[in-house]
Amino acid sequence: MRSKTMEISGWGRYPRGVSRVVRPERMKEAVPPREGQVIARGQGRSYGQAAMSADGSVMLTERLNRFLDFDDRPGVLRAEAGSTIAEVLEAFVPRGWFPAVTPGTKFVSLGGCVAADVHGKNHHRVGTFGNHVEEIELVLADGQRKRCSPQQEKELFWATVGGMGLTGIITEIALRLIPIETASVIAQHHPARNLDESLELLEKREFDDEYTVAWLDCLARGESFGRSVLMRGHHAKISELPAEVKKPLEWESAQPRNIPASFPGWFLKPWGVSLFNRLYYFAQSKKKGPFVSSCEKFFYPLDRLGNWNRLYGRRGFVQYQCVVPSVHARRGLRLILEELARSGRASFLTVLKRFGAEGQGLLSFPTEGFTLTLDLPMTDSGLFPFLDRLDEIVLEHGGRIYLAKDARVKGETFRAMYPRFAEWQLIKAAVDLSNCFSSDLARLLAMGGAPT
């Protein structure tokens, strides 16, 4: 298989690195190298360096995207791991099926969804992506192809779900889909005046729905500190749509408006973000009654802007996502937002969600509590010390950060946040003693090698 050298980065465009990349065309070509290290890369949508490898090679799986089988009785799709959520939507929404869990972009591979054990707006109800995977095929370091599931090779399965691609190359996935009647969502917005009210709305039974998420104004001050707009919704039934809708399952993917080049550094200054936040808050707060939204608008609003990561300029950005257990959430999240205010930084996109119970993936990010996401541009050398301070707050309150988003957490902090790492490391060593599968993220956090 031919290889070439090219510069790559995560979706945050930080850091960048030069790697040797290979691109298999067929499943049989997806094999580990005889020497050196490799990491699989789907669509490159992890934000940091989880799918980068300056010292090894990167295997692009984008052409391993064939659907292999679909059983419509349980709704299980068997597909190659390079298949994307977008391809699943296009093929199966018109047939009345939808992924049980989807992240905020459809341009992700199914293999990447397993490796990061992604979550959606419905984690509080159905858990992570891995909860809906029936089986995977994994190519191990010795070339052996192994079938894993929650029943068969279950220790390896749960080490791979959320294992950041470090146990082997995921080549095939059997994924349960859920039945839907329409390609629309019944959505409703509810403004919250401050942080306490934002958390209360996410917890209240009467505001619960299949999907819930809150957009938060991180620059509001005084009595409005932590104000937000709760957005909730559920898949629309045919009876909930206007009578003029003749094709309720029609899936029309809108062409994104492409951002052709990197924006200048001043574009996302705090004053500009503050103005945007005010306008957005009042505009979204006005939507008091239920309304019909397309799935595309509800689940993937940023996908409507092609290359939206260019908004942050050539230097890129870091997406910081943490979860804080419910019992400490009010204090922990308030401290984080206060630190953000003191730093004079502005997050263009700030999202608050509620998580349900912790899953079985040994390194899966979600655990019971509230998760906060911040987008922070790479503007100065003080950003990483600032994020280290946020790490301290998260750790003090029993939380953790999301490896698929991060690009700078310290190894000792990561180990303190993920108590099942030692258990994961034993399984990793058992199937990959030579540490064949590695990435820049793994080297940063010393995730390879035998446990000490």
DSSP 211-236: EEEEEE-TT--GGGTT-EEEEEEEEP
Q: Which amino acid is at 41?
A: R
Tokens 């597909």 correspond to what residue?
A: 79
Structure tokens, 301: 């609003």
Contact criterion met (CB below 8 Å) for 274 and 219: yes
Residue by residue, what is the 3-state secondary structure of 31-80? CCCCCCCEEEECCCCCCCCCCCCCCCEEEECCCCCCEEEEECCCCEEEEE
Q: Is 266 exposed, middle or buried (0-12, 13-18, 19+ CB in 10 A)?
A: exposed
Q: CB count, 10 Å around CB of 332?
A: 24
Structure tokens, 48: 């940091």
Q: Distance (Å, rounded) from C-alpha 434 to C-alpha 140? A: 11
- Exposure pattern of 202-236 as b/e (b: 16+ CB <10 Å)? beeeeeebbbbbbbbbbbbeeeebbbbbbbbbbbb
Q: Which amino acid is at 233?
A: G
HSE value, Cβ hemisphere, 13 Å, CA-based, for 365: 26
The whole-number mean pLDDT for each consecutive block of 10 residues of the chain, a chain of 452 residues, reads: 90 93 95 94 96 94 97 96 98 98 97 98 98 98 97 98 98 98 97 96 94 94 94 97 92 76 68 80 84 95 89 89 97 97 90 96 98 93 96 98 95 97 97 96 88 60
Q: For residue 336, give the 3-state DSSP assignment.
A: helix
Q: Quick one: pLDDT at residue 171?
A: 98
Contacts of 46 (CB under 8 A, 6+ apart): 10, 11, 112, 116, 404, 405
Q: Distance (Å, rounded) from C-alpha 289 to C-alpha 294? A: 16
Q: How far is CA 209 from CA 186, 216, 217, 236, 371, in A?
A: 10, 19, 22, 12, 17
**Ramachandran angles phi, psi of 225, nearest 5°:** -55, 120
Cα 118 to chain centroid distance, Å, stands at: 5
Indicate the length of the chain as a whole number: 452
Q: For residue 278, give the 3-state DSSP assignment.
A: helix
Q: Quick one: pLDDT at residue 161?
A: 98
Dihedral sign, Cα of residue 100, residue 103, residue 108, residue 114: negative
Q: Quick one: pLDDT at residue 305?
A: 87
Q: For residue 320, give the 3-state DSSP assignment.
A: strand
> Alpha helix locations (H) across 93-164?
110-115, 123-126, 154-160
Dihedral sign, Cα of residue 425, residue 430, residue 431, residue 437: positive
Q: Distance (Å, rounded) from C-alpha 133 to C-alpha 177? A: 9
Structure tokens, 260: 């052709």
Dihedral sign, Cα of residue 254, residue 260, residue 261, residue 265: negative
Contact criterion met (CB below 8 Å) for 193 and 227: yes
